[in-house]
Copies of this chain bind each other. A is one copy, B any other.
């Protein structure tokens, strides 16, 4: 199908967003107007109320079956471990031929679990790579996905048409679709997202230990500390879900980081200026050429 076909198809369709926090609410707001109906589901009635009032969604409900029964596309936008339970819960009430996508940060357990859904259901994992240090419906931003990578992890049974339709939707909200296998996704995000989070937390903790004896430490903190530790302000439950569901890959990455850090330390202990210079220059060179086109 081509773009025009997608546009006219979804004009008559219903998209249900399950969970109206930062990600789900922002996706609803970004997609609003492209579908015939956007339905928003959240257990918290006040979230549903706000989402309707702010025009993020056309209809809202706190009843899962009501949210799903007429949907063509269902997006699971709850925390990771709720997604895993929800897949069981919705299995018997999904409309025939509907598409189920999630927005969880770890893909192997979700895509595996989705295999249990009826064969005629199209399944695909989704992961928008954008800011997560704020959360809740108050933080909703329809422009959240602009210029961000948005990863799709299809299963073997996912059709070309489903992949193309989702890629189209992702481009429509200003993001960059990237198709990866779930395993590969989980390894790459462990390196690029989960390890940095865990490191940011440990930097704050280390600084805190110094601050126990000298509270003026925080007055000295400047933009360098601010940026390096920004991820440590991320939502705790969401982060905990990620750590526990992608545990093995995160542990592998962290051990590798520990080895790198240990070799760096011995270069410094030995005053090995030439090796340190090579190391820092190589890293600087890599970092300087990343993100050159995106705003800083």
Contacts and interface: CB of A to CB of B under 8 A. Distances in A.
Interface in A256-282: 256-258, 260-262, 264-265, 268-269, 271, 273, 276-277, 279-281
> Interface on chain A toward B: helix, strand, loop, or mixed SS?
helix
Contacts of A236: 277, 280-281, 284
Contacts of A191: 206-207, 210, 217
Contact of A244 (B131, B264, B271): B271
Contacts of A239: 280
A233 interface: yes
A287 to B, nearest CB: 4
A290 B230 CA distance: 10
A196 B216 contact: no
Contact of A294 (B204, B226, B240): B226
A281 B208 CA distance: 13
Contacts of A223: 130-131, 148
A247 interface: yes
B227 A227 contact: yes
Contacts of A132: 224
Contacts of A294: 226
A113 interface: no
A195 interface: yes
A200 interface: yes
B204 A216 contact: no
Contact of A193 (B148, B151, B225): B225
A2 interface: no
A286 B244 contact: no
A228 B228 contact: yes
Given A220-B178, A290-B226, A203 B208 contact: no
Contacts of A255: 265
A20 to B, nearest CB: 22
Given A230-B228, A232-B283, A244-B273, A210 B188 contact: yes
Contact of A258 (B200, B207, B258): B258
Interface in A174-233: 176, 178, 180, 184-185, 187-189, 191-193, 195-210, 214, 216-233
A82 interface: no
Contacts of A72: none
A233 B227 CA distance: 13
Interface of A: 129-132, 148-149, 151, 176, 178, 180, 184-185, 187-189, 191-193, 195-210, 214, 216-234, 236-237, 239-240, 243-244, 247, 250-251, 253-258, 260-262, 264-265, 268-269, 271, 273, 276-277, 279-281, 283-284, 286-288, 290-291, 294, 296
